[in-house]
Amino acid sequence: MVDITYTRPWVYPKQRQAIFNDSRYSLIEASTKTGKTVGCIFWLCEEAIKGRDGQNFWWVAPVSSQAEIAFRRLKRYLPRDIFEANETLHTITLFNGACIWFKSADKPDSLYGEDVWGAVVDEASRVKDAAWFAVRSTLTATRGKVRIIGNVKGRKNWFYMLCRKAEANEEGYHYSKLTAYDAADAGVLTYEEIEDAKRTLPENVFRELYLAEPSDDGGNPFGLSHIDACVISRFSGNTPVAWGWDLAKSVDWTVGVALDEYGQVSHFHRWQKPWQETIENIIQITGSTPALIDSTGVGDPILEALQSKGGGNFEGQKFNQSSKQQMMEGLASAIQQKLVKYPAGELHNELKEFEYEYTRTGVRYTAPEGMHDDCVCALALAVRHYGLRHAGKTSFNELMSELYG
């Protein structure tokens, strides 16, 4: 026998009501950094402490790297002499024999078969519905409780629908919303940080990530109605003043987008060719017009070749999470103000499919799995280069304000 004294770490009142209630199903739509993850780590640990030898408790996240974050956190929180951790399986076995597993939801079929006495589904709006069905099946024999948490991401997902069921006071369900302002009221966030996010993020992104208000756009950072409002009948054909080139990587496409002096897409090229032919084509098409090239990874030697053979009008832009976020937010601002125009086609379609997701290191902008974002990246490069080159302005918004009043 081991006697321990457990004192729950501090949680603020709304956090406690959302997580530590008696309902079997507790659903929490929450803003970033409101304490939903850490609170549910405490909850799952308490459930396991009340468990017995051989009982299993699960933490399920969209991908293994997210599950590992919770695994590492719980290891830090617990006294070292009351648990054993398996670094390969990502399990924590407590002094009473109860085992907490940290699992990925990316392969739903692997979640079937076990009896689970308590579970947390993390980042639920990004978890496949098939994975939720599997987790639910594991709780059947035990009638185990579950906490389902996440940022909102549009309205077309099982998490959003189940939250509406809980919000309607379905028996056995509990619903909560935790916003950034709730966290600020509790001293977890600062109001200044929230206001800075409000100034720098597109409105729909801010409302989803900080106010837990789902958009109708399914996580599209530009806004579907704004994207459609920028469509023109054809490419303008006017003289380009800035090019953006996104280079192909494996199965992707090399895409070039040119803007004219009115912010309209005047020329558009898209192909899959060997690098040498790609270099020659870009030089011929771009001419002496200023061009911003994706120089990430394989793009570095391509940029050097373009600068060597083409001229000084080629500049490089490396994509990482931070720089891509900055560029996509600039593009979103331009689209939402109708300061850039394009015809229907591949570019328009990619803009509508593009999406963002919140990660613990920032906002990740990308195409859905199995789709491309080359056209979107090329447009973002052209928009950025247009703003940086024209009249010495430092941002696209400043440039557009001057041109269009």
pLDDT digits (tens, 9 = 90+) for 278-330: 999 999 999 999 999 998 887 789 999 999 998 789 999 988 888 888 889 88
CB 242 within 8 A of CB 258: yes
As given in the structure block, the two tokens for residue 327 are 């560029």
For tokens 């054993």, the residue is 84
Give the Å distances, CA to CA, from 19 to 13, 25, 26, 53: 10, 10, 7, 25
pLDDT score, position 403: 41
Q: Which two tokens stand for residue 101?
A: 């597993």
- 82 SS3 class: helix
Residue with tokens 């830090």: 76
Res 353: pLDDT: 79
Asked whether the beta carbons of 173 and 23 are under 8 A apart, the reply is yes
First to last CA, the chain: 76
In whole angstroms, what is the distance from residue 310 CA to residue 81 CA? Answer: 65
pTM of the model: 0.61
For residue 121, give both structure tokens: 């589904």
pLDDT tens-digit readout, 86-96: 999 999 999 99
Q: What is the pLDDT of residue 396?
A: 46
DSSP character at residue 305: H
Which residue reads 């459609």 in tokens? 228
| AA letter at 382 | A
Residue ranges, the chain, pLDDT below 50: 391-397, 400, 402-405
Domains of the chain: 13-211 (3.40.50.300), 224-404 (3.30.420.240)
Rounded to whole angstroms, the Cα distance separating 266 from 262 reads: 10
φ, ψ (nearest 5 deg) of residue 345? 140, -155
Give the contacts of 261 (CB within 8 A, at least 6 positions apart): 238, 239, 241, 403
Structure tokens at 392: 């010495």
Which residues sit opposite 231 in a β-bridge?
342
CB atoms within 10 A of CB 342: 26
Q: Which residues contact 405 (CB under 8 A, 6 or more apart)?
A: none
Residue pointed to by tokens 């076990």: 114
In this structure, the number of other CB atoms found within 10 A of the CB of residue 76 comes to 7
d(CA 85, CA 276): 52
114, 71 Cβ separation under 8 angstroms: no
Q: Please tell me the predicted confidence (pLDDT) of residue 363.
A: 75
Residue 225 and residue 114: Cα distance in Å, rounded?
45
**How far is the C-alpha of 85 from the C-alpha of 51, rounded, in Å?**
17
252's tokens: 């992707």
- At 93 the three-state DSSP class reads strand
